[in-house]
């Protein structure tokens, strides 16, 4: 016959108290974790809201920062040659000359050559390709107002592409 142990008189059963204590501590830790996680989630939400407001309130400048003025006081608006034509000559292929022409126009406009045009623009090779393939040309650009301005260019072949550098001429 089986017998179940009976606690001796004066001995108390602490098993239920221990289980309730462990469950209470675990529940308290979960609640504390939820409160701390909620606090940090709220802080992230507030920061994200502020960033969105800052982006929405950002003003994109629409005015041109530099508009040159001719001697009569009239603002001169830069004029790009968008005909698709490129100056003839030099050592570069058509695609590289097109990139070079776009670069020359940008630098030209910053150098007060306000309407660079293909007509009358000449290209002179001033340094033949060296051992690494780098060569230099001078483009004498028709500024569109009867004046010409020389721009030295450096062509540097790298990984199958020719990089073009235009020297700024004040």
User: What does the pLDDT look like over 125-148, one tens digit per residue?
Assistant: 999 999 999 999 999 999 888 899
Pair (160, 106) in one structural domain = yes
3-state class percentages of the chain: helix first, strand second, coil last, to nearest 5: 35, 20, 45
Residue 90 shares a structural domain with residue 168: yes
pLDDT at site 56: 81
* Residue 149 forms part of a structural domain: yes
Q: DSSP 3-state assignment of 92?
A: coil
What's the confidence (pLDDT) of residue 135?
A: 96
Same domain, 43 and 84: no
Distance between CA atoms of residues 101 and 116, nearest Å: 9
Q: How many domains does the chain have?
A: 2
1, part of any domain: no
In angstroms, the first-to-last Cα distance of the chain is 113
Kindly give the parts of the chain with pLDDT less than 70. Answer: 1-12, 60-78
> In the prediction, which pLDDT does 14 show?
82
Per-residue pLDDT, 130: 94
**What's the pLDDT score for residue 8?**
58
Residue-level pLDDT at 73: 60
Q: Are residues 83 and 99 in the same domain?
A: yes
Which helix (H) or strand (E) is 69 found in, with range? none
Structural domain of 49: 12-58
DSSP structural state of residue 116: -
User: Which H or E element spans position 27?
Assistant: helix 15-56
pLDDT value, residue 10: 54
Residue 144 bridge partners (DSSP): none
pLDDT of residue 44: 92
């Amino acid at each position: 016959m089986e017998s179940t142990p009976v606690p001796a008189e004066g001995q108390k059963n602490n098993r239920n108290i221990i289980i309730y204590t462990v469950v209470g501590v675990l529940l308290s830790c979960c609640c504390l974790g939820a409160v701390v996680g909620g606090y940090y989630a709220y802080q992230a939400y507030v920061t994200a809201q502020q960033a969105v407001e800052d982006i929405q309130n950002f003003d994109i400048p629409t005015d041109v920062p530099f508009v040159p003025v001719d001697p009569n006081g009239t603002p001169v608006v830069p004029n790009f040659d968008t005909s698709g034509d490129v100056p003839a000559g030099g050592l570069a292929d058509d695609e590289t000359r097109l990139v070079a022409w776009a670069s020359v126009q940008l630098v030209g406009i910053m150098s007060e050559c306000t309407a660079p045009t293909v007509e009358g623009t000449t290209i002179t090779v001033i340094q033949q390709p060296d051992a690494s393939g780098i060569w230099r040309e001078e483009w004498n650009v028709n500024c569109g107002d009867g004046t010409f301005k020389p721009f030295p260019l450096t062509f540097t072949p790298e990984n199958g592409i020719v990089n073009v550098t235009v020297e700024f001429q004040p």
